[in-house]
Every structure is written in structure tokens, then in C-alpha cells.
Amino acid sequence: MHDIQKALAKKLNYVALDDGTYGLLPEEWLAKFSLLFKMAETDGKKLKVSKYNFSVIDELHDMIDDIDIKNELNEKKQNLLAQNPENFQQVAIPEQLQAELRPYQVAGFQWLTYLDKIKWGGLLADDMGLGKTIQTLTFLQHFKNNNVKLNALVVCPTTLLFNWENEINKFTPELTYLVHHGPNRTGILENLNKYHIIISTYGTLRSDITLLQKIDLDYVVLDESQTIKNPTSKVAKAAQLLNTQNRIALSGTPMQNNTFDIYSQMNFLNPGMLGSKDFFKEQFAKPVDKFQDVESKQHLRKLIYPFLLRRTKEQVAKDLPEKTEVTLFCEMGKEQRAIYDMYKNMYRAQILGTIENQGIEKSQFAILQGLMKLRQICDSPAILKDETKYENHSTKLDELLREMQENIGEHKVLIFSQFLGMLSLIKDTLTQNDIKYQYFDGSYTAQQRETAIRDFQDNPECRAFLISLKAGGMGLNLTAADYVYIVDPWWNPAVEQQAIDRTHRIGQTKNIFAYRLICKDTVEEKIMILKDKKNTLVKDIVSDDTQMIKQLTREDVNYLFS
């Protein structure tokens, strides 16, 4: 057995026999058994295959005598191959869920419940925007209902902390949670055990692994799991140390650059299923990435398909609304926050003093100017046109780059900002990271605009179009894009909708996802809350910025600059 394994590893079709001659391994035999020998351990004259690798013995199906084993394999294969909810054992959607799941989301939930039943980890790899979070929360609510208790840890990039918080509040409000992040986070184990879900970041996981590995967890969920694609990184090693019954990974782009990206994620989900790091590199990564070996690619797909569920936007298009709008919350770093707080306090004192002396009507310019400055700092203090020049500290730039590199894949993107300075910073960032883009603002001629539009629409390598909100609001047809980012949202929803509708128009065959980037605990978040409060006014009356400013009360102004 060992000699056959060595021969297959070297891509040889013969083995040395005891009498000094060579035995030929027929092509048909190699096709049928090579993956089995590659993944199995030899024990004398027997081969042992990990339970995670049940798919490798598909070829031996007709040779299995034990009817119970054959039936079990059939059941697992059918369930894990399923892409539709009717193929799974039907599990009721939790009554506590405050949402209507789409058919493919029901299928994702059923898939997670099936993996839980057989105690295997899985990677939910749906395209960005298809609702991986709500599918996971539906499953966690189901788990809690069935087991009375739930101890789960969700690890995500910092920019997604508040999205998890918001979605728990919105969809599964019965589940209690704690955001374990920041300098004031608890270091006491008992405090962490009080909640159904702990939401934390990859950086905090790395720093607090000694504490977090003491928790007896039911589930660990890694959101944007490609973050641990390097198995030698500290964060990947920390994830492996967590003490949990089972694991879920979420990623719209589990393989970004090469085959090896998938190894660490799969090893986290089901330790040992793909062998050692060196084994995987030699048997799969190198043959696939370096030599485009078809057989190795097919073998790898066969090994991982039971643990990976992926649906693209195109596959589930009929289940999607034409347009989905999402808010992405970004958390400022220390430097950006310090500058923001300094300006906020300065303008607060000035504006409230002006209102006191002159009344709110005569303070409108000061209010508008103060709000504009704070919004610019939310983008980056580097774009302020003040005497003091600041470095570029921008959580939004970090988030945009992460989205472009990790989530967007081959999709095309429109990026809108009201501030030319911010667009300039985005241009520099994309250039530094070799992401091809087009650009125009109000200074461009009609011919320059047309050239940029043609390149974006027709050139598959051009992935982003940067447009000033004012210049790009009308008359553009950019249907090559299906993702839109509004970098600095403002009062007027009509202007934002005009920007989004540059791609959501006649000729568009794809579903549109629009993202608004909001800095947490800033004037941006407060504007969004006030806008919801004054929803009718904003929709029916507001046509420009000054109209909204006129409607603000002293209490509103106090709130915005608090």
C-alpha cells in the first residue's frame, strides 16, 4: 500500500514488486483510486480514510457490501450536494426570526442545520450581499431553541462589528450579545459567559486568545474567513486554539489569489481534513496553481464540496429584489477620532453660542459649515482645507480597499463622494494597489466623460468608476456595475438615488447592491437617525442642503454636535 502511495505522489504509473520487476497501474485504476490513496493513511495492508473525506470513496460505492454504510454515504452525499431547501430534511424557521427568508437563504439555513447534526464545520461562500449574516443568525437562533443554551463567538473585521450588532437587534432580538472590542473590553471570563453571542474582531482574537480559549463555546463563526488564509499567521493559529463544539466560516471570496487560500479555512472548520500544510502544498496547491493540473483540481473540489455552499448573484437572481441597500458602519482609529472630537467640540461651542446670540435662523451657515467639516473628517482629515494640515487617517479608505480586494471579486463598482479631496485619496489608494479604475468630476469635458464611460463599460480590467456625487447624478448609463458605494451619505435621498440609478436602469440585467459608508458615533450616524425621524419631510420637501438645515431645531443641532 505504501509503495502505491509513493508512486502516486510522484505521478508514476508503476510500482516495484518484490521479485525485482515492475507492476503497471492501469489508467482506469488510477482514475478510480488515486485520490483515495492520496488522502488515506496506510496501516499494513489497510487504508484508513478520515470521516471528513467520505467523498473520496464515491468510486468504491459499488464495491461496498455493508448496506448500512452504503445508505449512510448516500444520505450524506445527497444532503451535502443539495442546493435547494427541498433537498434537505425540513427544519422549521425559528418563530423568533424577524424576517422573511428568500428560498436560497432557507436552503443555506437548512444546510447549516444538517452540518450541525453531523458535527461538521462548513463554509457559507455566497456572493457578497446575499445575506450570509441572516442565514447564520437564523441557524444560531435555531440552535438556541433546540439546546436551551447558546454560547457563540463571532469574529469579524472591525468594520463589520456594528453590522452584526444591528442585524442581531433587527432579526434575532431574543439573542443577547456583547461586543468584545476596544480598550474598555472585559477581561473577566464570567462576564463573557453571560451572553448568547460574543462579537469580536480578528485583532482582539489575536490579543485575547488566552482569555477566549477558556470559554466552552458551542460555535465559532468567522466572518470574512479569508482573513485566516495564511495558516502560519498569529490570527489563524489563535482561531485553531478556540475551544468549540463546531465552526462556521463566511466568505464571499474564500479563494482570492491561489488554491492555498482555502487550506487554512478548511483546516479551521474540520481539522486535518486536507492533511498537513506541506502535504496540501505539494499535492494540490502547487499542481493546481503552478501547472493547472486538471486532475488535482478535480480531486480538491471533490474533497471540499461537502463543506462549502456557494451561490452567486446570477444563480439566485430570481429570488433577489432588483436593488438592495446596506449601511456599512466604520469605526475611526485613534488619530482620526482625536481630530474629529477636537473639531466637534470647537464647532459645538461656536454654533451654540451663535444660536444663543443671533437665533437659529441666522446660524444656518455656521451649522452647515460645521457639519461639512465633520463629514470631511469622517472621510479623512487630510481633505480639510484649513491652515493645519493633517495626515491621511481614514477608516473608510481601509474599508473600501478591503471590499475591493476581498469581497467584490469580478464585479464592477461605482464609488461616489461629494468631496473631490476624498476621490483623490481613493484614486491614490487604488493606484497603489494595482486596481484599475476610471474617474471624472465636474471639470471633465463631455468627450473626457464619454471616453471614461466607454472604458469602464467595455474594459473587463477596469473594475471601479470614481465619480463626484454632483457630476454623476444625472444622464449616465453605467450598467456594467452592480455594486455602488456612497462614501459620504448626506441628507438628500434623491441625490443618492440618482447616483445609485446610474447602474440601476434600463439595460441592467444584474441585481444592484448599494452600500453607504457611515462612521460610527459621529455626525454621519446622527444625520442618518435624524433623517429617519424626519422621513416624510426629507422625502417630500428637501431638495437641497439648506432646506434641511432650516428645519433643524436647537435640540437637533445640540444632538448633532454632541
CATH number of the domain residue 496 falls in = 3.40.50.300
Please report which confidence band the pLDDT of residue 61 belongs to, taking 50, 70 and 90 as the band edges.
Answer: very low
Q: Has residue 69 been placed in a domain?
A: no
Side chain identity at 313, as an amino acid letter? K
pLDDT at 280: 79
Q: Is the pLDDT of residue 555 over 70?
A: yes
135/267 same-domain check: yes
Q: Is the pLDDT of residue 214 over 90?
A: yes
Most confident of 107-116, 356-365, 508-517: 107-116
- Cα–Cα–Cα angle for 38, 256, 405, rounded to 5 degrees: 165
Q: Has residue 58 been placed in a domain?
A: no
* Selected residue with higher pLDDT from 124 and 81: 124
Across the range 213-218, mean pLDDT stands at 96
Q: Has residue 123 been placed in a domain?
A: yes
275/424 same-domain check: no
Q: Has residue 75 been placed in a domain?
A: no
Across the range 111-132, mean pLDDT stands at 90
When divided into structural domains, the chain yields a total of 2
256/386 same-domain check: no
Q: Is the pLDDT of residue 241 over 50?
A: yes
Of the residues 295, 320, 345, the one at which a domain ends: 320
110/228 same-domain check: yes
Over the stretch 146-162, which tens digit does the pLDDT of each residue have?
999 999 999 998 878 88
Q: Is the pLDDT of residue 109 over 90?
A: yes
Which percentage of the chain shows pLDDT scores above 90?
A: 39
Instruction: Give yes or no for a contact between 340 and 378, defined as CB atoms under 8 angstroms apart.
Output: yes
264/391 same-domain check: no
User: 89 exposed, middle or buried (CB, 10 Å; 0-12, 13-18, 19+)?
Assistant: exposed
Quick one: DSSP state of residue 52? G
User: 47 exposed, middle or buried (CB, 10 Å; 0-12, 13-18, 19+)?
Assistant: middle
Query: Which of 219, 277, 276, 204 has the alpha carbon at shortest distance from 249?
Result: 219
pTM over 0.85: no
The contacts of residue 148 (CB under 8 Å, 6+ apart) are none
pLDDT at 63: 46
Q: Is the pLDDT of residue 173 over 90?
A: yes
303/415 same-domain check: no
Quick one: DSSP state of residue 104? H
Lowest mean pLDDT among 138-142, 197-201, 298-302, 507-511: 507-511
Please report which confidence band the pLDDT of residue 542 belongs to, taking 50, 70 and 90 as the band edges.
Answer: very low
Q: Is the pLDDT of residue 429 over 70?
A: yes
pLDDT at 558: 85
pLDDT at 323: 77
414/268 same-domain check: no
Across the range 15-33, mean pLDDT stands at 56
User: Alpha carbon of 240 to those of 197, 203, 264: distances in Å?
Assistant: 19, 15, 10
307/400 same-domain check: no
pLDDT at 419: 93
pLDDT at 360: 81
Q: Has residue 35 been placed in a domain?
A: no
235/104 same-domain check: yes
Task: Domain of residue 476: give its range.
Answer: 324-331+369-560
Please report which confidence band the pLDDT of residue 124 belongs to, taking 50, 70 and 90 as the band edges.
Answer: very high
Q: Is the pLDDT of residue 548 over 80?
A: no
Instruction: Give yes or no for a contact between 226 and 198, defined as CB atoms under 8 angstroms apart.
Output: no
Most confident of 171-175, 485-489, 500-504, 509-513: 171-175
pLDDT at 56: 46
| Average predicted confidence (pLDDT) for the chain | 81
Q: Is the pLDDT of residue 250 over 80?
A: yes
pLDDT at 397: 95
pLDDT at 462: 93
412/529 same-domain check: yes
316/374 same-domain check: no
138/285 same-domain check: yes
Side chain identity at 379, as an amino acid letter? D
Q: Is the pLDDT of residue 213 over 90?
A: yes
pLDDT at 132: 93
Q: Is the pLDDT of residue 72 over 60?
A: no
Please report which confidence band the pLDDT of residue 42 belongs to, taking 50, 70 and 90 as the band edges.
Answer: low
Over the stretch 275-312, which tens digit does the pLDDT of each residue have?
777 777 877 788 888 878 787 788 778 778 888 898 88
Q: Is the pLDDT of residue 83 over 50?
A: no
Lowest mean pLDDT among 13-17, 380-384, 480-484: 13-17
Q: Has residue 280 been placed in a domain?
A: yes
Across the range 5-34, mean pLDDT stands at 56
Residue 515 C-alpha cell reads as: 452600500
Q: Which helix (H) or strand (E) holds 439?
A: strand 437-440
Instruction: Give yes or no for a contact between 482 and 510, defined as CB atoms under 8 angstroms apart.
Output: yes
Q: Has residue 102 been placed in a domain?
A: yes
CATH number of the domain residue 148 falls in = 3.40.50.10810
Most confident of 35-39, 490-494, 542-546: 490-494
Q: Is the pLDDT of residue 10 over 60?
A: no
Over the stretch 307-356, which tens digit does the pLDDT of each residue have?
889 888 778 878 776 778 888 889 999 999 999 999 999 999 888 888 88
- For strand 177-180 and strand 22-24, is the pairing parallel, antiparallel, or unpaired? unpaired
What distance, in Å, lies between the first and last C-alpha atoms of the chain?
A: 73
pLDDT at 16: 61
Q: Has residue 435 been placed in a domain?
A: yes
CA 399 to chain centre: 11
SS3 content of the chain, % helix, strand, coil (to 5): 50, 15, 35
